[in-house]
């Protein structure tokens, strides 16, 4: 299918949900998509399995702190500088564009860029959610090299990075992005179609659209949260979906530092008097503790949504007094393996708690 303008509101809303609090403001991404489609036409959403093995697949993404994007907007010119410079460096042109992550702006940006280039965008990504660091991708876990990588900014400046590991690429790239104003565009993990089929998380872009449609449909009958949960439970990856908490935000601590947004959010229960939930985040929500007990933890998804509308709330827009619901959702199986947990499990974020699947935690009294 093609990603048409009429789909963008639902698609961006679903991408915000899968962003688990991070990935950047979905409204900005939707506007960028709408303009690109109006100017260049709707891009094809290509199933992962339809990629030719020898197809040349390039990613495009934003890197930095989501809070900065509220004031320092990105453009497709920056994205094109990153991708085109990597194409010239490798001596091959892109046959398809893939998202590094399916959350927030980093789900909508590849669609907009694919429209501008007249290329298909692959119905897949490298996370099945959003993560704050370059190395935290299934591409890296299962053997695709992160570099060569290009980072570009709004001043036409760009840097080619070659490293021996994705962690080194993250460390060098993060320093550059901080110097560039805590937000820049990049293209990394250049791969073949065969490598994408072996390492990517399939069908996440179409699921993002399905999530957004479920919320919109649920609003029409006054049950958006119930409709969202019902849809998630029909999907292959996100079927373990649980309502963890309903409450009012009573405290938010947030700091933009080292190219990330770090902090925590505290909620008081609306019904269960005295119960509290604390969510810790680094761009994305990482851990949810109810009265000190872990009830959901990375890489599973922790999503804060408006209690009445089910609109996903990003970490940079959390505010005192918001009435919210908190959902815990299973991550794709490829993101839960031993190799994957070594890269983006709790210990990768210096959390003191082991990974326990949401379906197990939800069954614990």
Q: What is the DSSP letter of 180?
A: T
- Same domain for 133 and 168, yes or no, is yes
- Same domain for 169 and 238, yes or no, is no
Q: What band does 127 get if pLDDT is binned at 50, 70 and 90?
A: very high
Q: Which percentage of the chain shows pLDDT scores above 90?
A: 86
Q: Which percentage of the chain shows pLDDT scores above 70?
A: 99
Residue 84 within a domain: yes
Residue 211 within a domain: no
Residue 218 within a domain: no
Per-residue pLDDT of 161-190, as tens digits, reads: 999 999 999 999 999 999 998 889 999 999
Q: What band does 260 get if pLDDT is binned at 50, 70 and 90?
A: confident
CATH number of the domain that residue 31 is part of:
3.40.1610.10
pLDDT number for residue 10 = 97
Give me the phi and psi of 363, to 5 degrees please: -85, -5
Distance, CA of 152 to CA of 206 (rounded, Å) = 29
| Domain total in the chain | 2
pLDDT number for residue 182 = 84
Q: Is the pLDDT of residue 45 over 80?
A: yes
Span 117-136, average pLDDT: 96
pLDDT number for residue 74 = 79
Residue 192 within a domain: yes
- Same domain for 184 and 39, yes or no, is yes
- Same domain for 15 and 162, yes or no, is yes
| Domain C-terminal end among 202, 236, 271 | 202
- Same domain for 153 and 261, yes or no, is no
Residue 137 within a domain: yes
Residue 209 within a domain: no
Asked whether the CA dihedral 164, 169, 175, 180 is positive or negative, the reply is: positive
CATH number of the domain that residue 300 is part of:
2.40.390.10
- Same domain for 263 and 334, yes or no, is yes
Q: What band does 213 get if pLDDT is binned at 50, 70 and 90?
A: very high
Q: What band does 284 get if pLDDT is binned at 50, 70 and 90?
A: very high
Residue 292 within a domain: yes
Distance, CA of 245 to CA of 252 (rounded, Å) = 17
Residue 339's domain comprises: 227-362
| Domain C-terminal end among 202, 236, 258 | 202
Residue 142 within a domain: yes
- Same domain for 51 and 159, yes or no, is yes
- Same domain for 231 and 198, yes or no, is no
| Domain C-terminal end among 136, 168, 202 | 202
β-pairing, 260-269 with 241-257? Answer: antiparallel
Q: Is the pLDDT of residue 40 over 90?
A: yes
Span 208-225, average pLDDT: 97
Q: Is the pLDDT of residue 83 over 90?
A: yes
Is 91 exposed, middle or buried, given 0-12, 13-18 or 19+ CB atoms closer than 10 A?
Answer: exposed
């Amino acid at each position: 299918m093609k990603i048409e303008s009429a789909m963008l509101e639902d698609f961006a809303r679903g991408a915000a949900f899968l962003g688990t609090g991070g990935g950047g403001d979905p409204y900005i991404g939707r506007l960028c998509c709408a303009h690109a489609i109006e100017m260049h036409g709707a891009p094809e959403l290509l199933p992962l399995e339809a990629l030719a093995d020898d197809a040349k697949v390039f990613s495009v993404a934003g890197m930095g702190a989501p809070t900065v994007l509220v004031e320092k907007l990105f453009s497709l010119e920056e994205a094109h500088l990153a991708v085109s410079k990597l194409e010239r460096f490798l001596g091959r042109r892109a046959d398809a564009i893939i998202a590094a992550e399916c959350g927030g702006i980093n789900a909508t940006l590849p669609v907009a860029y694919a429209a501008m280039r007249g290329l298909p965008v692959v119905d897949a990504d490298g996370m099945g959610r959003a993560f704050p660091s370059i190395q935290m991708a299934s591409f890296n876990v299962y053997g695709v090299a992160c570099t060569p990588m290009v980072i570009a900014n709004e001043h036409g400046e760009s840097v080619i990075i070659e490293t021996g590991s994705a962690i080194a690429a993250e460390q060098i790239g993060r320093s550059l992005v901080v110097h560039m104003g805590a937000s820049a565009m990049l293209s990394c993990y250049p791969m073949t179609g065969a490598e994408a089929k072996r390492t990517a998380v399939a069908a996440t872009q179409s699921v993002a659209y399905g999530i957004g449609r479920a919320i919109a449909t649920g609003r029409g009958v006054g049950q958006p949260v119930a409709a969202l949960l019902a849809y998630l439970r029909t999907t292959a990856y996100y079927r373990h979906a649980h309502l963890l908490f309903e409450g009012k935000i009573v405290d938010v601590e947030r700091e933009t530092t080292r190219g990330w947004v770090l902090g925590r959010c505290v909620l008081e229960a609306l019904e269960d008097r005295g119960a509290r939930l604390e969510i810790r985040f680094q761009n994305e929500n990482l851990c949810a503790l109810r009265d000190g007990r872990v009830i959901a933890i990375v890489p599973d998804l922790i999503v804060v949504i408006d209690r009445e509308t089910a609109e996903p709330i990003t970490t940079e827009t959390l505010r005192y007094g918001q009435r919210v619901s908190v959902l815990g959702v299973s991550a794709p199986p490829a993101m839960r393996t031993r190799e994957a947990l070594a890269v983006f499990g709790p210990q990768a974020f210096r959390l003191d708690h082991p990974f326990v699947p949401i379906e197990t935690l939800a069954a614990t009294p």
